[in-house]
């Protein structure tokens, strides 16, 4: 089973939020996922915009899960101390 770390859409119209999930590559974007790793709220202020459980993320990355480009950018911004 090939696993990716990707964003799934949640929320409502004009107020979209995203969950950061570990998901099988064959699943649909908003389909079945293995584990929730965090969330991303693009409309919020910087303090609460991005939250990622580092232990879960590192565990999935060590198992060989690959992040998508969008998730990789979010992880990089978190490492640099910015949550935008």
Q: Cα dist. 58→17, 21, 69, 75 in Å?
A: 23, 13, 17, 11
75 inside domain: yes
Structure tokens that stand for 12 in this block: 């409502």
Residue 13 pLDDT more than 60?
yes
- The number of distinct structural domains making up the chain is 1
pTM over 0.75: yes
Structure tokens that stand for 78 in this block: 């978190």
82 or 26, higher pLDDT: 26
pLDDT of residue 78: 82
CA dihedral sign, ordered 57, 31, 7, 47? negative
CATH code for the domain in which residue 69 is found: 3.30.1320.10
11 inside domain: yes
pLDDT of residue 31: 85
Confidence of residue 49 (pLDDT cuts 50, 70, 90): confident
By the 10 Å C-beta count (0-12 exposed, 13-18 middle, 19+ buried), 23 is classed as: buried
Q: Which domain holds residue 30?
A: 3-79
84 inside domain: no
56 inside domain: yes
Scan for tokens 């910087």, then name that residue.
Answer: 46
């Amino acid at each position: 089973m090939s696993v990716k770390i990707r964003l799934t859409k949640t929320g409502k119209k004009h107020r979209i939020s995203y969950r950061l999930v570990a998901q099988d590559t064959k699943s649909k974007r908003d389909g079945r996922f293995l584990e929730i790793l965090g969330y991303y709220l693009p409309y919020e202020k910087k303090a609460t915009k991005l939250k990622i459980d580092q232990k879960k993320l590192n565990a999935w990355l060590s198992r060989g899960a690959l992040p998508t480009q969008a998730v990789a950018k979010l992880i990089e911004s978190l490492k640099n101390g910015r949550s935008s």
